[in-house]
Amino acid sequence: MLKYLLSRLGGMAVVMAIVAVLVFLLTRAAPGDPVAVLLGDQATPADIARVRVQYGLDQPLPLQFAYWLRELAQGNLGDSIFLQRPVTQALWERAEPTLLLALMAVAVAALIGVPCGVVSAVFRGRLVDQCFTGIAMLGASIPSFWLGLVLIQLFAVSLGWFPVSGYGEPGAPLGQRLHALVLPALVLGLLNSALIIRFTRASMLDVLGEDYVRTARSKGLPEGVVVFKHALRNALVPIVTVLGLTVALMIGGAVITETVFGLPGVGNLVVNAVLRRDYPVIQGALLVIAAIYVLINFLIDLLYMVVDPRVKV
């Protein structure tokens, strides 16, 4: 058990190291001088050189990487070139809408996806199953910006139930902020429910074929008890995994939805940083986003060991 845990931890460290190298190389391979962009047309070469030294951009690449790692070890992701503040602070300011959005969206996806998936599995091959499978595939074919624009048109412009864009006034009460997140959460939730339907269906079909389900049936338990108490509870373990990973992927991966709805989230921060070649922000954000994914992945593995006593590798 301990050995397994240690090997998983080691694997995680290796992956994170590769992520760090990839992120660093990615931003340094980019063309265009961010300092020249920052200072504008009026800057003299001397100005540019001075600011380059200030940000350490005049050092050789391996040295820049070493500096970056040293700062990283102290929890310092560097300063944004454009936002005039530390990257960690910029990320922290953007964290709330992104996290709330991810949680709300996953709730929507689970509320739609799990029941539909269960029904699909129980009535495998019937019309209901075919309908839900079709809907799931349709959901995976709709671009999020398009669904966002359609929902904005319907519920914000025509009906006026929700704000067209934005995240409330600065310092708005939580209720108002959550209200602004309803439509974006619906977009992400609906689209991701497609994946959850398919996954729940597959997971339930696996479990429904197990011996203990046959035993439960043969001892005369009502079908409802068999499906919900025996099958679903066991099928839920992998489903929860996917839900967890979905949350992880929405941190940064919800960038299109954030942009359509004008939400000041993490994904939005990265896109703006990319458009302005703000290296420290791109680096820091990509690193943190990937780290969160790797970490959640690891935690889910741990959870497996706790929930399922058979997993004792």
Binding stretches for another protein (CB under 8 A): 11, 14-16, 18-19, 22, 26-27, 29-31, 134, 137-138, 140-146, 149-150, 153, 157, 249-253, 255-256, 259, 267, 270-271, 274-275, 277, 282, 286, 289-290, 293-294, 297
136 close to 172: Cβ distance less than 8 angstroms: no
Q: Which C-beta is closer to another protein: that of 13 or that of 225?
A: 13
What's phi and psi for 79, nearest 5 deg? -110, 140
CB of 207 to another protein, least distance (A): 17
251 close to 99: Cβ distance less than 8 angstroms: yes
Cα(287)–Cα(39) distance, integer angstroms = 27
CB of 137 to another protein, least distance (A): 5
CB of 97 to another protein, least distance (A): 16
Q: Which C-beta is closer to another protein: that of 178 or that of 272?
A: 272
CB of 185 to another protein, least distance (A): 17
Q: Which C-beta is closer to another protein: that of 48 or that of 202?
A: 202
Q: Which C-beta is closer to another protein: that of 294 or that of 305?
A: 294
CB of 175 to another protein, least distance (A): 27
Q: Which C-beta is closer to another protein: that of 181 or that of 194?
A: 194
Token representation of residue 80: 């944004």
Q: Which C-beta is closer to another protein: that of 221 or that of 292?
A: 292
CB of 264 to another protein, least distance (A): 15
Place of tokens 């060991």: 305
